[in-house]
Structures are given as C-alpha cells and as structure tokens.
Chain A
C-alpha cells in the first residue's frame, strides 16, 4: 500500500512539474463540466442563482475527498457567480464543511476585488445528522428534506450536486428537480447511488469524474498532474491484473 502511494507520488510530481514547464495534456470531454461552464450565461441572463449541494460528508471523515471535490466546483461557481452578480446558494449537511465553504467563497470575492459583496448566508448548513456528527450516515433525511423545499420553491437556474450522498438523500433532492425539468448536474462516488444519478441528472458525473472538477474547471497544474497520475496508476493496475490472470491461467503463478 505504502509502495503504491509512493509510486503515485512520483508520477504525480513528475506530471505536475511537466505541466508547470508547459506540457499540455488533452482531457476527454465530460458533458457535466461542459454544461457547468455554460450555466452562468443562462444564470446571469435570467438573474437566477444556481444551487450547489456539497453533500452530507464533512472535511474530516472518510468521505472528505468527495467534499474536497465539491469545494473545487464551489470555487468555480463562486468565481462565475461573483462576476455575474448571481452568487450560488450552497447547502451542506456536515458542520465541518461550512467554515471551509464560506472561506472558499470569501477568498474568491476578495481575489476578484469585491470583498464587501460576500454574503456568509449564501452557504447554509440546512440540517445535520442528529445521531452522529463524526461519521456521515446515508440517511440524512433532515438535510434532504430542507434542500427539497429549496429546490421546489425557490427560483433557480440549475441544481448542482457534487459530494457524498446516500441513496435516499440523493433521490429526495434530485427527483423534484427532475420533475420540474430543471438543469441538473451532479454525481457522487458511491456506486449504489449511481443509478439515481443516471436517472435524475441531466448531466451526470459518474464515480471518479467528480474528482476531475479542478482540472476541467480551473486547469490548475496540480489538478491536471494528479489526473495524469490517476490514469498512469490505472494503466499499471490493469497491466498488473491482466498479467496476474495470464500467469495464473498458464499455471506459472
């Protein structure tokens, strides 16, 4: 495990260095991110905000990577929202994600030169799981229901859902939007939720695609480098699996 991590680290730093030196990698198109880029023309024209859900996980649990992926999307949406004067409405269910989300938004407004325009209440902790705050559960219905109210009653340009979700939570939040014919972009890493992602999102992000947001939306060298390292590791894993199957079949292993 440690050796795999070290190999990953070496490939990642090599790719990061290469991108910094001007190397260009071609990224395959992902419809969800293309749609996200086109969203703000529509949002600004209609004067309506985009809803972004950061999911039910926090920044200190085993699904923290999903929240980190959602924060990359938040950064992009906040940049576009600040420029178009239609900042996104951000909802979340885990208390540890709230200060980080607010910090991301505050930083974007400060960098763009509108620090006074930042409104902390645009990021909202709707409801937290009352049973256990340290471990995300898949039945955070209080959050899902509060978000459902927002999605059915507020005028929104689109609904974006990226992060960790349970099956019930995701469906309760995404199906009302689908029934309203809303533009919905989103995904999660949990395989058991993916059928609902496919059924309710107009532009689904499947599994690991949620982690590619930083590379597709902001094009930061670190994100492109890590995407390259992911692909390189995937090839190594596939080569290892195929070799093991062949050796086993030939009775050499």
Chain B
C-alpha cells in the first residue's frame, strides 16, 4: 500500500509533464481531466481547512484560559454567518458582494495601509551603514531615491544604471537559481525520491 501513493504521484506527474511538451489527443484529455480533479480536490481540502479552523478556535474557547479566546468567538460567528449567506443566496449574489465590498475590502485596505509604516521601519533597519555591504545598499538606495527628483537631474543616469545593470543582473541570477531549484524539487517529486504525501 505504501507504493500506491507514489505510483499515482509519478503517473499523474509524468502525464502532466508530457502533456506540456507534446500535443497528443490522449495526453490532452488526460491532462485536462487531472486539472479538473485538482480543482475538486482543492474544494475538499478547503472543507478540511474549515474543520481545522473550527477545531483550533473551539479548543481555544473551551480552554478559556487562553488569551484572546473572545476573538475566536468572533472568528467562528463570522465564519458561520458568511458560510450561511453563501449557501442561502449562492455566489455571486448581492449579500455576498456586500460582505466583500463593505467588510472584507475595507479591512484589507486598512492592513495594506499598515505596510507603509512597516516599510519605513524595515528600511531604517536595513539601511543603517553597519559595514561595507550595508553601506553599498544605502548608497544604491540614495541614488535611486534622489535620482527620481527632477531637481537632481544629474543623478537620473546613475539611477538608471543602478536599476538596469547591478540590480537587473542580480535579479536575473536569482531567477536562474530559483528556476533550477524549482526543477530539482519537481524532479525529486516526479521520480518518487521525495514523498511528502506518503509514509
């Protein structure tokens, strides 16, 4: 039985990979079917996630001595309310749209605003000239920032150079490394040498 999940993973992975490289009616059909199954599995995984969320917060409420157990009550009530609205009115529907537009989006906007302050404190910490490495970072940041000011037009070329040469070169190097790392990880899974899904 230990071999079954590995065999399924290798089989499905190979078919999907071959479907990417070759155009054959059989592979196209199988590839499409597997993508449909992924969507169905994701929906069931979401159900498991909801059960997990309820378990975590119910445990916190039952114990009572845990800090912020009151927030867990709010989480569960909100989950039940939104789930109930979705099941009753279906998607998309005016009540669900109202919840997204008037509750979720403003909350998201509020926390997005917080990012600005976090960027300021993180930049302060990162750009302190503690050693040669951070001094280079500070210098590059100053050139890019000041180069955007129309009054300091002389720095505009330096800014372009920083962005187009060292910054782009570094980013491309990282991207090539990430691509190789992704291929290595995928191959380990594909040949069954890395099995996070089975014993």
Contacts and interface: CB of A to CB of B under 8 A. Distances in A.
B42 A207 contact: no
Nearest to B37: A60
Interface of A: 1-2, 5, 8-9, 12, 16, 58-60, 64-65, 68-69, 71, 75, 95-96, 98-100, 103-104, 107, 110, 120-121, 123-126, 128, 130, 133-134, 139, 141-142, 144-145, 149, 153, 167-168, 171-172, 175, 178-179, 189, 191, 194-196, 198-200, 206-208, 210-212, 214, 222-223, 226-227, 229-230, 233-234, 237
A95 B46 contact: yes
A195 B42 CA distance: 32
Contact of B197 (A98, A103, A139): A103
B88 interface: no
Interface residues of B, number: 54
Given A124-B52, A230-B184, A234-B180, A208 B174 contact: yes
Interface string B172-190: 0011111011111111110
A145 B111 contact: yes
Interface stretch (B23-31, B113-121, B145-153, B156-164): B113-121
B39 interface: yes
A144 B193 contact: no
Contacts of B199: 107, 110
Contacts of A200: 122, 125
Given A104-B196, A175-B121, A207 B52 contact: no
Nearest to A60: B38
Contacts of A178: 121-122, 125
Contact of A95 (B42, B177, B180): B42
Given A104-B196, A145-B111, A125 B53 contact: yes
